[in-house]
Structure 1
Amino acid sequence: MSTLGHLMDRSRVRYPSSEAAMSTQTTDLVLLEDLESNGKASGLAPRDREALQAVADWINDFILEPNDELGRPGPVCPFMPTSVERRTMWLAPEHIGGGSAAHVVELMNSYKRRLLDVGSPDGGDTDYDVITVVFTDLPADRAQDVFDDVLGEIAVPSYVEDGIVFGPFYNGNQATAIYNNGFRPFQSPVPFIFVRHGVVSDWKFFVDQEEWLTLWARRFGEQGVDALAAELRRHPWNSRRD
């Protein structure tokens, strides 16, 4: 899932160099099973562990499950079950503290580099690799402004240069599902941004955003044309009409 399209209309945000230089350190990555008793996450601060557990429960109970409001069969996110099964979906707790959006820009760039460095453990594709950066101290009513500023800065260059996409989730996110504009599946119990590799099926998120669709077409070329043709073949677009 991704909600990047709406960010294309926002102006790029530039921050003073003193803010951009704020130090940042990515935390250890946590798998869902690490949240079990005496798991790897047992040493986390209680607030961080509770936030990660809330996101993990939401993923298990909502994201991995089908939903009648989705408008298509299958789980809410078609990629996440494979990511969880492969153990390539990681959680990472982070704090925004008194920092600005510029600090979050630095954090997300760090996680982008980390995802690019991970690679696939079995030498296969990395389409199912995703890092979910959970901001355990960010109030939901601040999340939209912070995340919009952050992604307005990094979303386009990250996609153009590295093929990386980001997805913001928070309580109150009004972005809708592709097949049902009355369903809002991006409302998580704790604000987070996921980091993943772009995939050819992302055109469904970009089809109404001309600039994003152009960037997608440049990245996927002939493979993208094949994907669109396959979608068209499922619809009676060339049926004869009397």
Structure 2
Amino acid sequence: MAPEDLDGILPEPVRSSEEPLRAIVDWARRYLCRPHPELGRKGDVCPFTEGAMARHTFYMAVCRGVPSGADEVAATVAHYRDWFIDLEPTRGPAAQFKTILILFPELAGPDLHPIIDDAQRMLKQAYVSRGLMVGEFHDGPPDKAGLWNSTFRPLRSPVPLLAIRHMVPTDFPFLSLDDEHVTAYLRLFGDRVPTHLQPQVAAATARLGKAVP
């Protein structure tokens, strides 16, 4: 589903998921596409969401029911990696704005949040190796702090979900602690590391025994 699909008559299988879909579209427009006083930098909370919506590359899927655990969530989401890569647009500027949000409405509440968090950790390497990022969001909020303000928790959402997008050069802080993630990052962006991240990348490349980009 895309946000514009909610403007028409929904297919019967989708009607039971209308509430979480609308909640996420509203959250994206009111939160992700706007600045936040606690963010610690200028600009929208997510630099890509408004562009994705404008280009009609903001997609949503809903998985109903309570999974048995993180293994089941990871298995459900794993196939989205190859589908994301093949989903149009596959090249050009618009491709960078493509995103898929996979909603798990029944995983709300603190007792179930670890399922989303653990599934994200299980999936991350397979996604990063293909130049993709997979992020966890729920109403917890997740433990991860903002990059520009350590007291801000930016990954809060009204419906638990996993989000898929392309990796970008500024993603290095999310990858810096894992050698395989660093290697994947250097393969893609080693020749165009943002200036403010060059000291971190240099330290990681030295740890790996690689040449500093």
TM, length-normalised to structure 1: 0.72
Distance in 2, matches of 1:105 and 1:210, equals: 20
Alpha-carbon offset, residue 221 of structure 1:
2.0
User: How much does 1:95 deviate?
Assistant: 2.1
- State yes or no: 1:195 paired with 2:164: yes
TM-score by length of 2: 0.81
Structure with bigger RCO (C-alpha 8 Å, 6+ apart): 1
In structure 2, the partner of 1:167 is 135
The equivalent of 1:228 in structure 2 is 195
Which runs of structure 2 are paired with 1:7-156 in the superposition (5 Å)? 30-38=1-9, 41-120=10-89, 123-125=91-93, 126-156=95-125
Contact 1:135 1:192 in 2 (8 A): yes
User: After superposition, what is the alpha-carbon deviation per residue over 1:24-45, rounded to whole angstroms, capped at 9, x for unaligned?
Assistant: xxxxxx111211242xx35345
Q: What CA distance in whole angstroms lies between the structure 2 residues aligned with 1:50 and 1:110?
A: 25
Residues 55 and 190 in structure 1, CA contact (< 8 A), matched pair in contact too:
yes
Runs of 4+ aligned structure 1 residues displaced above 6 Å come to 229-232
Alignment-mate amino acid for residue 199 of structure 1: V
Q: Percent identity?
A: 27
Paired residues in the alignment total 196
Q: Is the Cα–Cα contact under 8 Å of residues 96 and 104 in structure 1 kept in the other structure?
A: no
Assess if the C-alpha contact under 8 Å between 1:170 and 1:187 holds in 2. Answer: yes
Larger Rg: 1
* CA distance in 1 between partners of 2:22 and 2:196 (Å): 41
- Give the direction of change, closer, same or farther, for the CA distance of 1:98–1:120 in structure 2 (3 Å limit): closer
Q: CA deviation at 1:71?
A: 1.1
Letter of the 1:116 partner, please give it: I
* CA distance 1:102–1:229, shift in 2 (3 Å): closer
